[in-house]
Structure 1
Amino acid sequence: MALTPSNMLPLGTKAPDFSLVDTKDNQVKSLDELKGTAGTLVMFICNHCPFVIHVNTELSQLAKDYIAKGINCIAISSNDIDNYPQDAPHLMKQNAVDHHYIFPYLYDQTQEVAKAYDAACTPDFFLFDSELILVYAGQLDDSRPGNGIPVTGKDLRAAMDAVIAGKSVNLDQKPSMGCNIKWK
């Protein structure tokens, strides 16, 4: 497990478009059809990363709290499944069921979407406003496996609350930290 910070895609970047298979129902879904009315959260996650496992409950709760407020959540796994078979699509589907994901869990087989977003780690968070302009590219909160800090999602929640309220998101954004994306 290599501790890797996010690359912090520049704020103001337009969300790169994509169409990927949702492992929950095997249907191809596009960013345009999944985006929220108030905003869109794109999360790069995977099944096996201890950093993602540490925050899975909060990711599910975040979606429950914010989808009804107009911020849709989208999870994407881009890991190389030949070397990390625990991240295969059929296991992504099971992981989504086990953790009560109410958001799509998409598989980026070519890794082109992760590259377009400059994703570096799992979890890696990208919050876009209603026009799909990046307003937050930072951490969920200060909690990490083993550091004793409770998982609250406070940093990402504050950004999402600002988007909903039509306010500016705090520009002081700490990078997310996690396992590196497993590139082919």
Structure 2
Amino acid sequence: MGFDRLLHVGECYDFMRVGFMPTHVGPLGYIFCLCADYFVVLSPQSMANAPPRELWICQCPRTFIEFEDVYAQAEYFFVDVIGIVVHVSNIRGRDDVRMRPYRYVVLMNERYHCIIITVKYTHICCHLSEWRRATSELRILAGLHVQMNRKRGLRNRLLVDEARRRRVQEFAKDTVSRLIDLEN
């Protein structure tokens, strides 16, 4: 069946007889597949039903989520955070064998609000080249799927100090003006 003639952008389909494969297969084969990201394999045996309805999803949201809403989420729930990467810390925790490596990423939305997010080891490895580019370029737009964990003290990483908050907002405004100058 020719899926290129059947499938249309923005419509929803029910697929049957599809295969799932991990995007990255490590040296040990499929032993760690539960931790991998998967993609769908369509074969000549695959079937698709006609779409019951259309999906109306914007490719880019009109406005980014308020970062205060991220901290208001229930614990262990996931939320999407979108913003411009303004700072990427060095990888930490490599010296201690009891810890897994991590790094901090500061994202800024269009209201010049900043949020600090901890990026864990698996996402550091999967997107290492993007994080390296984000440290040097100020035009990287990141979309992260973040889990709120109050036991780890993510709430304490808010920039509460007013002087610090003003400095970060001034830095963010300078960053945005530099981005506009680079585009022009």
TM-score (norm 2): 0.25
Greater C-alpha radius of gyration: 2
Relative CO higher for 1 or 2, CA cutoff 8 Å, sep ≥ 6? 1
